A and B are shown apart, each in its own frame.
Chain A
Amino acid sequence: MRPAAIVRVAIISLGALYLLLPLVGALEFALRMRRGVYSLDAFAAVFADHRFQDTFLYSCAQAVVTVVLGVGLIVPAAYAVRRHAPRLRGVVEFVTLLPLVVPAIVIVFGYVRLYGTSSFLPLTDSEWGANALLAFGYVTLSLPYIYRSIDAGLTSIDVRTLSEAAESLGARPHTVLLRVVLPNIRTAILSGAFLTAAIVLGEFTFASLLDRPAFGPFMQLLGANRAYEPAALSVVAFGLTWGLMVLIGTIGGRRRGNRG
């Protein structure tokens, strides 16, 4: 192999090894639930709970909604900022950084205050309203990641030239967005979608305080004071999240051309 290729493989292997390393400990411990032998008891306990399926599917659905909503909000905004309002770029970036440093618990209490029973938009009163509020909360939490990915994607393609070319050919703004920009930032959208899905599946604070049957609260319920089940659960969650992402990747990459 050429030296460059060796270096490449070495870096990737090192990275992958490091990311899989902690799982080793968690898995080994989870297998120790039955005294003296390795067994799958902890995993059986995790799957036996009927709430496992329900909460996982709920969170998967929320993940899809969040990704669609998030991308739908941010792609036009990032594009508009670049083309028409470059001075606002700093402001928009700062706003998208806020969810990382403002504690989730402050945001969710803010939601309850603003959109509770006696507000102008009483979302907490109905089932679908609370679900919507949770989705909005998730979109807020994923803002930084989606925006940063899209921004990196827009930087890497020459947005101005592309859109000017399209406009000179008579395309209207939304056509430019949908048919010129979007297909070219596919990698970026996929990155953002991955990060969002991972966040939604594991999120706890919002779901718990809004009283929604999500996977995060279930994991906390099962694992708070146990020993072996939480370790098994983290391994299982790892695998399930992987599965969801393969799904997203397959759907997202379906019409991909020859670009890797």
Chain B
Amino acid sequence: MGLAPFAAFAVLFLVLPTAGLFVGAFQDANGNFTLANIAGLATPVVANAFRESIIISGASALLGAVGGLAVAMALVGPGSPRVLRATMLTLSGVASNFAGVPLAFAFLATMGRVGVVTIILREALGIDIYAAGFNLLGATGLTLVYFYFQLPLMVLLIMPAVDGLKREWSEASAMLGATAWQHAWRITVPILFPSFAGATLLLFANAFGAVATAYALTGSFINLVTIVLYSEIRGEVLHDPNLGYALAFGMVAITGVCNLIYLRMRAFAERRFR
């Protein structure tokens, strides 16, 4: 069946290699079974890291999802020329993976205290964004930077679904006397919702697992799970790989919970809107 090659691939190249991770989460340095690593997840530093990560990931996912949907819908429609759509999709593709140190530096060079745009705004327009309270190097700044790759990612992920919204449906609704709002609420939203929710979930996981960008931009300030995790596994200093595996296990568990919530929401939507 169609599922067999995929299942074999997933087992060989995804499940098996990461199985060691789940085993390692429950082992100590000598290989004996222990729950100490899991207990280590409850320490204030780690718990705080999880909280920060979830907040920033959630915020950037929601922002990216709404913004991406808006752009995708704007691209599909009678007024949009083919070239504009193709260009915007290509730009989205490129931007979606522009992350890590290069992105962090690009933002610093643009919107940092001595960034090009900051200076132009101040000298040419008299607007001092830093005096107004903006700070690139904090949780809001980090969310802004995450938004940079979340937005185009959403555009690309939701495009197939938005594409599938046939013009004929809105014309039919109009003919039947529905307002634009009614059409949106009763037709567009139910149809788009499963894909929207799924894509948002992916955006969340994407931000949740991101580390390079955060480390480069606010590495010594904001406490994120991925930074702690990487330092345990690779670190110069902490180097308790088993704790790192437990952290990864915790992240997988949280992603699993989010996935369950999403499945619930989708089932509900499918029932409600049939």
Contact = CB atoms under 8 A, between A and B. Distances in A.
B174 to A, nearest CB: 13
A127 B59 CA distance: 44
Contact of B160 (A8, A145, A187): A187
B156 interface: yes
Given A110-B17, A152-B198, A101 B105 contact: no
Interface stretch (A33-41, A46-54, A164-172, A193-201): A193-201
A25 B156 contact: no
Interface in A166-195: 173, 177, 185, 187-188, 190-191, 194-195
A80 B148 contact: no
A224 B164 CA distance: 44
Nearest to B196: A152
B208 interface: yes
A46 to B, nearest CB: 13
Contacts of A44: none
Most chain B beta-carbon neighbours within 10 Å: one of A23, A26, A92: A26
A80 B2 contact: yes
Q: Summarize B's interface: helix, strand, loop or mixed.
A: helix
Interface in B171-223: 191, 194-195, 198-199, 201-202, 205-206, 208-209, 211
B248 A80 contact: no
28 contacts: A2-B79, A5-B79, A8-B79, A11-B74, A15-B155, A16-B88, A19-B151, A25-B110, A25-B112, A25-B115, A76-B3, A101-B209, A105-B234, A111-B13, A113-B20, A152-B198, A156-B161, A173-B2, A187-B160, A188-B160, A191-B89, A195-B93, A231-B109, A237-B102, A241-B94, A241-B97, A259-B163, A260-B80
B257 to A, nearest CB: 10
Interface residues of A, number: 94
Contacts of B96: 194-195, 198
A62 interface: no
Contacts of B158: 152
B202 A100 contact: yes
Interface stretch (B4-12, B35-43, B123-131): B4-12
B153 A195 contact: yes
A106 B18 CA distance: 7
Interface of A: 2, 4-5, 7-9, 11-12, 15-16, 18-26, 28-29, 73-74, 76-77, 79-81, 84-85, 88, 90, 92-95, 97-103, 105-107, 109-111, 113-114, 136-137, 139-140, 143-145, 148-149, 151-153, 155-157, 173, 177, 185, 187-188, 190-191, 194-195, 197-199, 201-202, 230-231, 233-234, 237-238, 241-242, 245-246, 249, 253, 259-260
Nearest to B205: A100
Contact of B116 (A28, A102, A113): A28
Contacts, number: 285
Contacts of B138: none
